[in-house]
Structure 1
Amino acid sequence: MSRVLVLNCGSSSVKYRLYDGDDVRAKGIVERVGEPGGGPADHESAVRHILGGLDLTGLTAVGHRVVHGGKRFGEPVRIDDAVLAAIRDLVPLAPLHNPPNLAGIEVARQALPDVPQVAVFDTAFHRTLPESAATYAVERDVAERYGIRRYGFHGTSHAYVSRRTAELLGRPYAELNTITLHLGNGASACAVAGGRSVATSMGMSPLEGLVMGTRSGDIDPTVIFHLRREGGLSVDEIDDLLNHRSGLLGLAGANDMREVLSRRNAGDPAAALAFDVYCRRITGYVGAYYALLGRVDAVTFTAGVGEHAAPVRAAALAGLERLGIAVDPERNAGEGDRVISPDGTEVAVCVIGTDEEREIARAARQVVARGA
């Protein structure tokens, strides 16, 4: 049984899992990395602590989540010095995420020099986007010079969930058209046609698209110019506003959907509006992706909000019955991986728990097996 360690270094955390084949032998998370209050000083310290506490005998690979692979990396790759340098060159496109990813890679390479290290990119699943989906309508020379295009994110989750949807429905993955909705603190939608990403809501960065915990999602670009010219805000202040003080937090004062729902149920009008804005945006993307796909076999919810917030699932798909999309209230109130649409509906509505670490382990094994 192949043993694979997965390291998922986030901006302030490190998640890890150790697999023996499909079995999880160890797992955990180190949080508050680099923050005051007792957490590890940095990602290097966190990863060293994790490695020191695991039995890594017989390890065949270490799989690393890397958020941004740019145009260069369209699939998982074995890490060498050139790959490491290329990931470092992409830091300007993901300044909050690629540096921690790099830190984890560098520590693991030093500690386990004889074990293959594999980078699995969040952007890679979206390499199949048609150029018409990846291209922004800005001057071509400027776009090429600064790498301005749609890259998409949450690809590891969308890949896992769309494949798991086919398994749940007993349908061939290559024949299934699915709209996957990854709804966590970050949120994105993806249209998957026969296992290929053909549209996704996040763009050059994870800011575009759906309303999120603290991110605005889609806005008129003029808002940025207006805040600069009329409000006198600096570029960094606008960046902070749209990424860290908008979304549910900006509308309702809470970035956790559980708190928003609690306040909404208590009659808080700000929370009610935040909920409506959040769900309306999802509805719009589902409708748009239905039109792009032409035929939809399943709509699947995943991640923290997608898996656990039944009111969001119901509201986001309300009114889509003419498209063959409906939610059964009793099934929607359940738990676990399941179909929540009524029997006989044209489109299956599913809830599936995402498992990015398992997808990373699968990809790492494939890279090592083919000697890439």
Structure 2
Amino acid sequence: MEILTLNCGSSSLKYQLYDWDNGRVVASGIVERVTQPGSKIEHATSGKEELVREQDCPTHAEAIELILEALTDPTYGAINTIDQIKAVGHRVVHGGERFSRSVLVTPEIIEAFRELAHLAPLHNPANITGIEAARKVLPEVPHAAIMDTAWHQTMPQHAYLYALPHSWYQEHGVRRYGFHGTSFLYTAKRAAVLLEKDPFETNLIIAHIGNGSSICAVKNGVSVDTSMGMTPLEGLIMGTRSGDTDPAIPFYMINETGMTSKEVESALNKQSGVLGITEKFVDRRDIEIAAEQGDERAQLAIDMEAYRIRKYVGSYAAVLGSTDAIVFTAGVGERGPIIRQKALEGLESMGIIIDQQRNFASMTKNAETEISAPDSPVKVFVIPTDEELVMTEDTYALIDGTYKEHTEYRYRFQDPAYINADRKAKLPKDLKKWQGLDTTLTKPWR
């Protein structure tokens, strides 16, 4: 049984095809520049040569058709006909307060997403467009929606409310929602496996660090606080987003410069973060190289980003009372030892002791690594995220009639014997590249 997952952005569409019966990814890829000239698909099927093809996709419907053509291509494809696809799972960024779990898509559900679009104007409209396009191209199969915000619906009111007029919350939905929920769900469950503990007896601080970054406090297996707020702008310093800042600054800049509110909003979302600090770079690898070459702004960006993470680690440690482990995930979290080191250095009094050798050897997305010292009371793990697998499992459970909220549902990847076949196949190459990354320091292939 094949399940297709789609992550639809305003101008891109990421996808993955999963063989449920054999528990493996059979194909994945991305269509870029959707709705723009020069659309292109990059497609990879396991065991076959990669396909790169330019083809205009004026709408997301054409992009999905292009994906289906690639999946069934005699040379590059993974399946013979699209009839082998039995379900489609869709990422939806914002589910508001209405959705605390994944759901099967109906016209009523789509209308509910439209009503919530004002909470995520950069994301939800694109998600809706992708769902409608996919249902048009694949009308006979069930479609599921997996919300980024659902994981955080366990936050207590004192954590998700802002100290603003209460009517703003009651009438306009102004509150903290949080994001990256599927990533936090996956890494929280996997961390419990590594700790050999019941997930609902586990306290974690999980840092999802990438172009978009957020951090989550997990108490007894559920989210109790997170750094992103009503929108993905709040919290950590990110690639182009400012994260926490004085809320009076936008008004100050409008008065000082004559900028419009839209211009200020764009600057906070697209011209800030490490890009704003360096005025050159977004990719952290470029920043690290520049810092090594003496670029003071690049070094400042590293110091500021790590400092912000460290502040949140300290505050969430206070929220939890006791912490079993700190987890790093996503692109920078998985392959950014400098940021990890600087974020946690000097926290020995909190029971956090990093092993530098382990940390700098952990540069793979194909193994789960422990980077804390053997005598560290608080473990530190690097766990490559797998949001697509969460989407796949939720989709299957919904059509199978076995789905429940994560507090009652056990995922297949919670089995201590779980093996990610795709990562298992790719890990040996990483072991050769990163000499310090050996199987005594990792949970290989998991």
CA distance change for structure 1 residues 103 and 52 in 2, over 3 Å: closer, same or farther? farther
Runs of 4+ aligned structure 1 residues displaced above 6 Å come to none
1:221 aligns with one of 222, 247, 252: 247
Equivalent residue number for residue 76 of structure 2: none
1:269 aligns with one of 296, 312, 316: 296
CA deviations over 1:262-302 (Å, ceiling 9, x no partner):
11111111111111111100000000000000110010101
Equivalent residue number for residue 26 of structure 1: 27
1:366 aligns with one of 397, 419, 427: 397
Equivalent residue number for residue 420 of structure 2: none
2:163 counterpart SS class: coil
What amino acid does structure 1 have at the position aligned with 2:69?
G
CA deviations over 1:213-237 (Å, ceiling 9, x no partner):
0000000101011011222110100
Counterparts of 2:318 and 2:255, CA distance in 1: 38
1:278 aligns with one of 289, 301, 305: 305
Counterparts of 2:10 and 2:186, CA distance in 1: 22
CA contact (8 A) 2:354 2:376 kept: no
Counterparts of 1:206 and 1:101, CA distance in 2: 16
Equivalent residue number for residue 377 of structure 2: 346
Equivalent residue number for residue 294 of structure 1: 321
CA contact (8 A) 2:334 2:383 kept: yes
1:260 and 2:287 aligned: yes
2:257 counterpart SS class: coil
1:249 aligns with one of 275, 283, 293: 275
What amino acid does structure 2 have at the position aligned with 1:11?
S
Equivalent residue number for residue 51 of structure 1: 68
Equivalent residue number for residue 201 of structure 2: 175
Counterparts of 1:255 and 1:272, CA distance in 2: 13
The 5-angstrom pairing of residues 153-232 of structure 1 reads 153-232=179-258
Instruction: Report the Cα offset of residue 193 of structure 1.
Output: 1.6
Counterparts of 1:311 and 1:371, CA distance in 2: 42
1:11 and 2:38 aligned: no
CA distance change for structure 1 residues 107 and 37 in 2, over 3 Å: closer, same or farther? closer
Counterparts of 2:335 and 2:236, CA distance in 1: 18
CA distance change for structure 1 residues 35 and 318 in 2, over 3 Å: closer, same or farther? farther
CA contact (8 A) 2:13 2:30 kept: yes
CA deviations over 1:20-76 (Å, ceiling 9, x no partner):
122112211112223444443332221221123333334332110000001111110
Equivalent residue number for residue 234 of structure 1: 260
Equivalent residue number for residue 410 of structure 2: none
The 5-angstrom pairing of residues 58-207 of structure 1 reads 58-207=84-233
Instruction: Report the Cα offset of residue 238 of structure 1.
Output: 0.4
CA deviations over 1:315-369 (Å, ceiling 9, x no partner):
0001111111121111012233110001021111010111110111111122222
CA contact (8 A) 1:48 1:107 kept: no
What amino acid does structure 1 have at the position aligned with 2:99?
F
Question: Normalising by structure 1, what TM-score?
Answer: 0.96
1:63 counterpart SS class: strand
CA distance change for structure 1 residues 35 and 327 in 2, over 3 Å: closer, same or farther? farther
CA contact (8 A) 1:68 1:90 kept: yes
Equivalent residue number for residue 427 of structure 2: none
Taking only aligned residues, the RMSD between alpha carbons, in angstroms, comes to 1.4
Question: Normalising by structure 2, what TM-score?
Answer: 0.81
Counterparts of 2:285 and 2:171, CA distance in 1: 42
Deviates more, 1:61-70 or 1:88-97: 88-97
Instruction: Report the Cα offset of residue 10 of structure 1.
Output: 2.3
Give 5+ residue unaligned stretches, structure 2.
41-56, 72-78, 404-446
CA distance change for structure 1 residues 137 and 314 in 2, over 3 Å: closer, same or farther? same
Instruction: Report the Cα offset of residue 144 of structure 1.
Output: 1.8
Counterparts of 2:355 and 2:205, CA distance in 1: 18
Give 5+ residue unaligned stretches, structure 1.
none
Counterparts of 1:35 and 1:244, CA distance in 2: 20
